[in-house]
């Protein structure tokens, strides 16, 4: 099977049952995406596939051979952090760091969803522009559990980047 | 997970042709793979339908929308036509799951989402839905999330979805393709089954029958509300949810459609609830009468007894919002 | 190398951290490990080696009995499966508790709880190992188990004393209750909870001859190394544990867990590295839970609110053969004055997952009871809850009659009241409504015993002024990397970027590890000691006394001489430092204090609770890094929120099965549940605690946080629920009609 991850083409011969997450972690050395629950209940595995954030644990690798897959490794290395990664550091938006790559991938795509005008559960109106205030960010990021509970800092980090890019 | 044969279909016809009794179609996979990992479901074959051309939302001549079965929950919720004309559907979708899951979960798949009953999920427990005839560990067990309406001796599981509850209130039609090539148009009122003696059979679909579209009828009159009550502020299944559509004319309720989640084996709708409302002036008495109609025959199993008062209170609050003065 | 040892036999008058010139201690510096973590390049246990076999644990499916037979045929027939390992004698029945030096309870033929690991299925790939594990057929001889605390309450026993005595009393509680003007006698219950760190328990085991190398997720490496050696019957020196990054632990990774023992055994037999990662349900079932508790609180007071008696009886549960009890009354010993006191802990033996430490063992649930009972007393007295607490502020430890090392509870309450707008609270419940929402305010005190453990660290000052810190201390998200760099940088005159910190490897000097909020106190003091030794050498080289030496930006200054460090030393200067608890442990009651304030909205229709605002004010000695310390408090406060509102690990009382063993149904708070909490630190130094004058902070944020929320719920809607968590179903009966 052939996969395009972070713009690079990877070949792998894996069991048909292999999840996209296990493909990355166990076969391609891309361990930035984390396994917290393996059932779509924590968000630590979040990748961006064709521009959309998804739980990579709940999808088969074999179904993504023609897709454009982005993992945390594709967003920025330790010496070349992107603005959101930097904001996570300056706002201390993590502690143990295990949910963090998923949070950042999720937030990256979430900001795009808001730019497209997608409403959320807490949006007062279903039409009009989306302003990413604290409540909107919290709701939209609720698919990423952080047991260390850096939530207030995660919200601050994302809001700063969303506002800067608005 | 048990291993399986995998095939990617390039047309709906090819998909149903490739399917047999042991086949499951996979689109988003968010529920199917969850259950396959636990061996709650063990299909011998997966037919990948994710690349089929069923991901559009089209206007229909008479004013409704035809939703392709592969339209993702997030796309359906964000569609401007759905947002402006079927707010209850957008709201239900946005109240469900997480941003990540909504991006993957498909319209067709979400209709077929299976119960969250703890004992269904645990292969070491008895469950008539997972293993017909084995018994039900939920009735006497921990049943806080379980059904209070339409239950049977064999099963007290709930349907966990939000989108289907709104669709039930909207009276959608589910369009399918059968293995023999025939198409069916199934009103959602006829789509789901109560558990009865066969809780393993949840819908009227035949083996190998593929959902291709969901048709939304022209937008209903009146206000639309989806209200979901749950244990977390987000990312939790409904304890009770209400999808409500109602209009008031000349001080009386002219139309009403009310569907409920978290209460039954399927999105619940009872004509008696609406009958108790239509023609009445909006009032606490009328709302309580509707709740009485809803809860006739309802019974709790201990931990879920609270769903009865919760359903009543939530319904009344929704009806107030649906029929109150515009604010 | 002999270590420079500091023993805390007397209070430290002046800390070198107060006289340092570098100016980095206490500052809200970014985590030095941050860039790796946000780039996905911090490597956790299961990621350390890609070329391993995969092992999947198989757990018991009954709650009590024994294994009659294991049929491996279907498993071995699964393509890719290599072997089924069953070692009934050596497998760990359950994890070990923190700090123990012996193996956890071993032997798994007898089954003590559902999920008890019985076998490890090893395969070439993960998919095959999982399928093989599902296929393993185990026959059981089932026995009747004990799965419900109250059903077996009469059979309870008194456990041996631990961090707090099992039973203690002074005066005459019953008599004081009979004589008092106002009394409260209430019983609170708290459910089992799960630590639920985001990283599942995971080990890669590899043998190099007789040497075992474990990449594992542990909080306390030095003691885990001893546990592992004991479990396998090998020398400690043949075991090395490596854990540079740990994805949270919250107590569940204090001791070694069953997957580590099983992986080590299987790797030895197969001669290949084996990776064993628990599934999420296994983390719930086969690691650690916080015990459920039933707590009876009795308070007796005069009309002036002064307590004459405090009673705190706790009934907790644990497995047979395990001494740990949830020390719910631990802060009750010293939080409030009162002559007559009785604090007891008893234990029911249940066939459920091991009870052990979960973040802030004791106070986390004890304060849910005590601080709500205080709220009930305030209401009964018609007194403001803060005034009631002030009326009971003890001058000295009310039981031991010794001074507090530092105590700023009143300052925390006063500051919090002012910042939070406590004066706007309507003491009559149900008085404030906004549409469907009933709004209430609540507060509670926070207290957490301060602990320090023996620790060692090695510090090297290089000629170019760079500093290297080495210890087997872990950073489980606490900020160890960063604060140790700040301590060393401050003392040796190095900017933060010039300090390199190596952690999480038993080849390095042994530290206390991460637990009990002692990590910074202990490992930090060891680094302090090593730095002090280096400073002494440098002072000697300059012909100055250590007290006159200032180090800044790679320069040494004494008198009016400025010398580059490179000109003072010929090569790297390496010293080992160690800290030991001493007489100040006995001479003072040491604890950190704080005050929590919460504003909640309770939906009058549905009973759903939303926390709108939360403020924590804390006095925990010197704060080493304002940013990471604040994060620790945020995390604690959210643990408190979860305990109050959402978290309950449910076991089926018929068979002991963990019903909600996943993150969909065990409700850890999600982002939308948590408001933008605020944290304020009160300036404080604790001279008896350690040479840095710090106190532990990792758990203080939980203590009382949930009680403040529960008290706010009562203030909002007038409903007092004494059975946690306060889910909507429990509030519904008390809400106004719709």
Per residue in C317-352, pLDDT (tens digit) is 999 999 999 999 999 999 999 999 999 999 999 999
Domain with residue C472: its CATH number is 3.30.365.10
Candidates B29, B80, B234; nearest CB to A59: B29
Are C521 and C614 part of one and the same domain? no
ipTM over 0.85: yes
The rounded percent of chain B whose pLDDT value lies above 70 is 99
Residues in chain B: 327
SS (H, E, C) chain A: CEEEECCEEEECCCCCCCEHHHHHHHHCCCCCCCCCCCCCCCCCCEEEECCEEEEHHHCEHHHHCCCEEECHHHCCCCCCCCHHHHHHHHCCCCCCCCCHHHHHHHHHHHHHHHHCCCCCCCCCCCCCCCCCCHHHHHHHCCCCCCCCCCHHHHHHHHHHHHHHHC
Are C443 and C517 part of one and the same domain? no
User: Sorting pLDDT into bands at 50, 70 and 90, what band is C2?
Assistant: confident
| Chains interfacing with B (3 or more CB pairs < 8 Å) | A, C
User: Sorting pLDDT into bands at 50, 70 and 90, what band is C527?
Assistant: very high
Say if strands C239-242 and C167-170 run parallel, antiparallel, or are unpaired: unpaired
Are A50 and A97 part of one and the same domain? no
Neighbours of C322 (CB within 10 A): 20
Q: How far is A121 from chain B (nearest CA, A)?
A: 5
User: Sorting pLDDT into bands at 50, 70 and 90, what band is B176?
Assistant: very high
Are C88 and C221 part of one and the same domain? yes
Closest residue in B to C728 (Cα–Cα): B231
Q: Which residues contact C586 (CB under 8 A, 6 or more apart)?
A: C402
Q: Over 70: is that where the pLDDT of C13 sits? A: yes
Are A66 and A46 part of one and the same domain? yes
Are A103 and A129 part of one and the same domain? yes
Q: Cβ–Cβ of A76/C476 closer than 8 Å?
A: no
Active site residues of C: 699
Q: What pLDDT does residue C68 have?
A: 98
Q: Over 60: is that where the pLDDT of C154 sits? A: yes
Of A39, A55, A74, the last residue of a domain is A74
Q: Cβ–Cβ of A54/B103 closer than 8 Å?
A: yes
User: Sorting pLDDT into bands at 50, 70 and 90, what band is C50?
Assistant: confident
Sign, CA torsion C470/C476/C481/C487? negative
- Concatenating the DSSP letter of every residue in C185-245 gives EEEEEE-BEE---SSPPEEEEEEETTEEEEEE--S-HHHHHHHHHHHHT--GGGEEEE-S-
Q: What pLDDT does residue B327 have?
A: 35
Q: What pLDDT does residue C646 have?
A: 98
Q: Over 80: is that where the pLDDT of B292 sits? A: yes
Question: Residue C721 and residue C711: Cα distance in Å, rounded?
Answer: 10
Q: How far is A141 from chain C (nearest CA, A)?
A: 6
The rounded percent of chain C whose pLDDT value lies above 70 is 100
- C-chain residues near A12 (CB < 8 A): none
Q: Over 50: is that where the pLDDT of A27 sits? A: yes
Contact indicator for B260, B226 with CB cutoff of 8 Å = no
Q: What class, spelled out in words, does domain B223-323 have in CATH?
A: alpha beta
Q: Which two tokens stand for residue A28?
A: 């391609």
* Number of domains into which chain A is organized: 2
Are C427 and C574 part of one and the same domain? no
Interval B94-118: pLDDT, tens: 999 999 999 999 999 999 999 999 9
Q: Which residues contact B288 (CB under 8 A, 6 or more apart)?
A: B312, B316
- C-chain residues near A135 (CB < 8 A): 672
Are A97 and A125 part of one and the same domain? yes
Are A46 and A70 part of one and the same domain? yes
Of C289, C311, C330, the last residue of a domain is C289
pTM greater than 0.95: yes
Q: What is the mean pLDDT of residues B131-143?
A: 98
Angle between helices C221-232 and C258-270 (to 10 degrees): 50
Question: Residue B60 and residue C479: Cα distance in Å, rounded?
Answer: 58
Question: Residue B253 and residue B276: Cα distance in Å, rounded?
Answer: 10
Q: How far is CA B45 from the centre of its chain?
A: 25
A20: domain range?
Answer: 2-74
Are C560 and C699 part of one and the same domain? no
Average pLDDT, rounded, for chain C: 97
Q: Cβ–Cβ of B235/A142 closer than 8 Å?
A: yes
Q: What is the mean pLDDT of residues C382-411?
A: 98
Are A63 and A121 part of one and the same domain? no
Say if strands C274-277 and C53-59 run parallel, antiparallel, or are unpaired: parallel
- A-chain residues near C476 (CB < 8 A): 96
Taking every pair of C-alpha atoms in chain A, what is the biggest distance, in angstroms? 48
The DSSP secondary-structure symbol of C314 reads E
Residues in chain A: 166
Are A16 and A53 part of one and the same domain? yes
Domain with residue A117: its CATH number is 1.10.150.120
Say if strands B45-48 and B23-26 run parallel, antiparallel, or are unpaired: parallel
Q: What is the mean pLDDT of residues C643-667?
A: 98
Q: What is the mean pLDDT of residues A117-144?
A: 97
Are C25 and C97 part of one and the same domain? no
Q: Which residues pair with C345 in a beta bridge?
A: C314
Classify residue C562: in a domain, yes or no: yes
Q: Over 70: is that where the pLDDT of C107 sits? A: yes
Of C581, C608, C633, the last residue of a domain is C581
Contact indicator for B257, B170 with CB cutoff of 8 Å = yes
Question: Residue A154 and residue B43: Cα distance in Å, rounded?
Answer: 40
Q: How far is C573 from chain B (nearest CA, A)?
A: 52
Q: Over 80: is that where the pLDDT of C445 sits? A: yes
C655: domain range?
Answer: 401-450+590-734
Find the angle CA(C585)-CA(C586)-CA(C589) to the nearest 5 degrees: 75
Classify residue C380: in a domain, yes or no: no
Q: What pLDDT does residue A165 have?
A: 84
Going from N- to C-terminal start, the domains of chain B cover 5-50, 223-323
Classify residue C655: in a domain, yes or no: yes
Q: Cβ–Cβ of A144/C671 closer than 8 Å?
A: yes
User: Sorting pLDDT into bands at 50, 70 and 90, what band is B325?
Assistant: low
- B-chain residues near C436 (CB < 8 A): 317
Q: Does A12 touch chain B (CB under 8 A)?
A: no
Interface residue of B41, B116, B118 to substitute, partner C, most C CBs within 10 Å: B118
| Nearest to C620, CA basis, from C398, C412, C358, C392 | C412
Q: Which two tokens stand for residue B36?
A: 């396959």
CATH code of B5-50, in short, is 3.30.43.10
| Nearest to A90, CA basis, from A47, A34, A153 | A153
Contact indicator for B143, B135 with CB cutoff of 8 Å = no
Are C478 and C436 part of one and the same domain? no
Are A87 and A24 part of one and the same domain? no
Q: What pLDDT does residue A116 have?
A: 97
Are A87 and A156 part of one and the same domain? yes
Contact indicator for A127, B80 with CB cutoff of 8 Å = yes
Domain with residue A58: its CATH number is 3.10.20.30
Interval C245-292: pLDDT, tens: 999 999 999 999 999 999 999 999 999 999 999 999 999 999 999 999
Are C52 and C138 part of one and the same domain? yes
Cβ-based burial of B211 (10 A; exposed 0-12, middle 13-18, buried ≥19): buried
Question: Residue C123 and residue B53: Cα distance in Å, rounded?
Answer: 39
Are C647 and C686 part of one and the same domain? yes
Are C202 and C81 part of one and the same domain? yes
| Nearest to C190, CA basis, from C70, C297, C300 | C297
* Number of domains into which chain C is organized: 3
Of A57, A74, A91, the last residue of a domain is A74
Question: Residue B289 and residue B274: Cα distance in Å, rounded?
Answer: 10
Q: Cβ–Cβ of C246/A96 closer than 8 Å?
A: yes
Are A67 and A88 part of one and the same domain? no
User: Sorting pLDDT into bands at 50, 70 and 90, what band is A166?
Assistant: low
The rounded percent of chain C whose pLDDT value lies above 90 is 99
Are A9 and A55 part of one and the same domain? yes
Are A87 and A69 part of one and the same domain? no
């Amino acid at each position: 099977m052939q996969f395009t991850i972070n713009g690079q083409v990877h070949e792998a011969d894996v069991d048909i049952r292999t999840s996209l997450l296990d493909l990355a972690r166990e076969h391609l050395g891309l361990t930035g995406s984390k396994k917290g629950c393996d059932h779509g209940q924590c968000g630590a595995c979040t990748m961006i596939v064709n521009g959309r954030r998804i739980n990579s644990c709940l999808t088969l690798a074999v179904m993504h051979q023609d897709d454009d897959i982005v993992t945390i490794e594709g967003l920025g290395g330790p010496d070349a952090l992107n603005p959101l990664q930097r904001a996570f550091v300056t706002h201390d938006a993590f502690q143990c760091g295990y949910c963090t790559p998923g949070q950042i991938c999720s937030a990256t795509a979430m900001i795009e969803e808001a730019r497209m005008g997608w409403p959320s559960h807490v949006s007062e109106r279903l039409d009009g522009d989306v302003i990413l205030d604290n409540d909107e960010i919290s709701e939209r990021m609720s698919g990423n559990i952080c047991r260390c509970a850096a939530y207030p800092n995660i919200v601050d980090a994302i809001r700063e980047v969303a506002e800067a890019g608005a | 997970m048990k291993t399986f044969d995998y095939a990617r279909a390039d047309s709906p016809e090819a998909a149903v042709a490739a399917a047999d009794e042991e086949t499951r179609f996979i689109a988003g996979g968010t529920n199917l793979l969850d259950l396959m990992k636990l061996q709650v479901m063990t299909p011998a074959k997966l037919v990948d339908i994710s690349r089929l051309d069923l991901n559009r939302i089209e206007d229909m001549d008479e004013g409704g929308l035809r939703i392709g079965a592969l339209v993702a929950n997030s796309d359906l919720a964000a569609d401007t036509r759905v947002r402006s004309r079927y707010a209850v559907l957008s709201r239900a979708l946005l109240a469900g799951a997480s941003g990540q899951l909504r991006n993957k979960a498909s319209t067709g798949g979400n209709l077929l989402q299976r119960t969250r009953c703890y004992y269904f999920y645990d292969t070491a427990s008895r469950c008539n839905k997972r293993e017909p005839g084995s018994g039900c560990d939920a009735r006497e067990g921990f049943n806080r999330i379980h059904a209070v309406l339409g239950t049977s001796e064999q099963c007290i599981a709930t349907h966990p979805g939000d989108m289907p509850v709104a669709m039930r209130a909207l009276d959608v039609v589910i369009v399918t393709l059968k293995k023999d090539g025939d198409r069916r148009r199934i009103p959602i009122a006829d789509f789901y089954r109560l558990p009865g003696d066969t809780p393993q059979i949840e819908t009227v679909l035949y083996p190998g029958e593929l959902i291709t579209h969901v048709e939304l009828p022209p937008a209903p009159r009146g206000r639309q509300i989806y209200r979901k009550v749950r244990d977390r502020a987000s990312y939790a299944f409904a304890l009770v949810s209400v999808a409500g559509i109602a209009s008031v004319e000349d001080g009386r309720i002219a139309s009403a459609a009310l569907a409920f989640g978290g209460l039954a084996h399927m999105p619940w709708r009872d004509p008696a609830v609406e009958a108790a409302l239509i023609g009445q002036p909006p009032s606490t008495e009328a709302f309580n009468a509707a709740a009485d109609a809803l809860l006739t025959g309802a019974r709790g199993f201990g931990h879920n007894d609270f769903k009865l008062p919760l359903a009543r209170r939530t319904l009344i609050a929704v009806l107030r919002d649906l029929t109150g003065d515009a604010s | 190398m002999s270590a420079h040892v500091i023993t805390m036999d007397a209070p430290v008058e002046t800390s070198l951290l107060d006289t340092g010139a570098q100016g980095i201690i206490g500052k809200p510096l970014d985590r030095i490990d941050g860039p790796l973590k946000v780039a996905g390049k911090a490597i956790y246990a299961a990621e350390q080696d890609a070329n391993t076999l995969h092992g999947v644990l198989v757990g018991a499916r009954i709650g009590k009995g024994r294994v009659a037979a294991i049929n491996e045929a279907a498993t071995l027939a699964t393509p890719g499966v290599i072997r089924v390992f069953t070692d009934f004698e050596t497998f760990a029945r359950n994890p070990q508790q923190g700090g123990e030096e012996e193996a956890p309870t071993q032997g798994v033929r007898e089954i003590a709880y559902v999920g008890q690991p019985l076998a490890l299925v090893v395969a070439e790939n993960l998919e095959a190992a999982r399928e093989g594990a599902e296929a393993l057929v185990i026959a059981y001889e089932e026995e009747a188990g004990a799965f419900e605390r109250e059903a077996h309450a009469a059979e309870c026993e008194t456990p041996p004393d631990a961090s707090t005595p099992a039973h203690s009393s002074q005066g005459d509680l019953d008599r004081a209750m009979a004589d008092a003007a106002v009394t409260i006698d209430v019983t609170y219950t708290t459910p089992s909870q799960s630590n639920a760190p985001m990283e599942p328990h995971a080990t890669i085991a590899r043998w190099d001859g007789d040497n075992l190398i474990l990449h594992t997720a542990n909080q306390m490496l030095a003691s885990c190394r001893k546990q592992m050696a004991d479990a396998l019957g090998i020398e400690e020196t043949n075991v090395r544990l490596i854990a540079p990054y740990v994805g949270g632990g919250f107590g569940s990774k204090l001791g070694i867990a069953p997957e580590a023992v099983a992986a080590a055994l299987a790797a030895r037999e197969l001669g290949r590295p084996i990776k064993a990662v628990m599934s999420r349900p296994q983390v719930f079932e086969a690691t650690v839970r916080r015990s459920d508790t039933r707590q009876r609180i009795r308070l007796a007071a005069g009309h002036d609110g002064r307590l004459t008696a405090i009673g705190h009886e706790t009934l907790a549960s644990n497995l047979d053969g395990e001494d740990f009890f949830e020390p719910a009354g631990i802060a009750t010993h010293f939080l409030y004055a009162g002559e007559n006191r009785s604090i007891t802990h008893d234990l029911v033996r249940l066939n459920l997952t091991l009870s052990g430490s979960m973040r802030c063992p004791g106070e986390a649930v004890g304060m849910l009871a005590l601080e709500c009972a205080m709220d009930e007393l305030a209401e009964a007295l018609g007194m403001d809850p803060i005034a009631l607490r002030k009326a009971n502020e003890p001058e000295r430890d009310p039981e031991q009659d010794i001074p507090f090392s530092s105590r700023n509870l009143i300052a925390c309450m006063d500051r919090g009241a002012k910042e939070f707008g406590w004066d706007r609270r309507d003491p009559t419940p149900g008085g404030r409504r906004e549409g469907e929402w009933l709004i209430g305010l609540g507060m509670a005190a926070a207290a957490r015993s301060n602990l320090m453990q023996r620790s060692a660290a090695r510090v090297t000052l290089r000629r170019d002024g760079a500093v290297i810190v080495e210890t087997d201390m872990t950073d489980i998200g606490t900020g160890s990397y960063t604060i140790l760099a700040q301590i060393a940088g401050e003392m040796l005159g190095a900017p933060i970027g010039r300090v390199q910190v190596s952690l999480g490897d038993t080849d390095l000097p042994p530290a206390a590890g991460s637990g009990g909020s002692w990590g910074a106190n202990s490992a930090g003091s060891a680094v302090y000691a090593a730095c002090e030794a280096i400073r002494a050498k440098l002072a000697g080289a300059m012909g100055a006394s250590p007290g006159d030496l200032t180090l800044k930006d790679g320069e040494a200054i004494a008198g009016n001489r400025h010398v580059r460090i490179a000109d003072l030393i010929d090569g790297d200067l390496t010293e080992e430092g160690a800290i030991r608890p001493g007489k100040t442990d006995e001479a003072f009651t040491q604890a950190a204090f704080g005050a929590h304030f919460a504003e909640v909205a309770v939906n009058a229709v549905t009973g759903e609770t939303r926390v709108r605002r939360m403020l924590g004010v804390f006095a925990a000695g010197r704060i080493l890094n304002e940013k990471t310390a604040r994060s620790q408090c945020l995390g604690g406060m959210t643990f408190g929120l979860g305990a109050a509102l959402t978290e309950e690990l449910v076991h089926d009382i018929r068979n002991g099965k963990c019903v909600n063993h996943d993150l969909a149904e065990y409700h850890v708070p999600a982002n939308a549940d948590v408001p933008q909490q605020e944290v304020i630190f009160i300036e404080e130094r604790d001279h008896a605690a350690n040479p840095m004058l710090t106190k532990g902070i990792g758990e203080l944020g939980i203590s009382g946080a949930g009680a403040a929320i529960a008290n706010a719920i009562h203030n909002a809607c007038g409903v007092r629920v004494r059975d946690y968590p306060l889910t909507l179903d429990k509030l519904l009966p008390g809400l106004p009609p719709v």
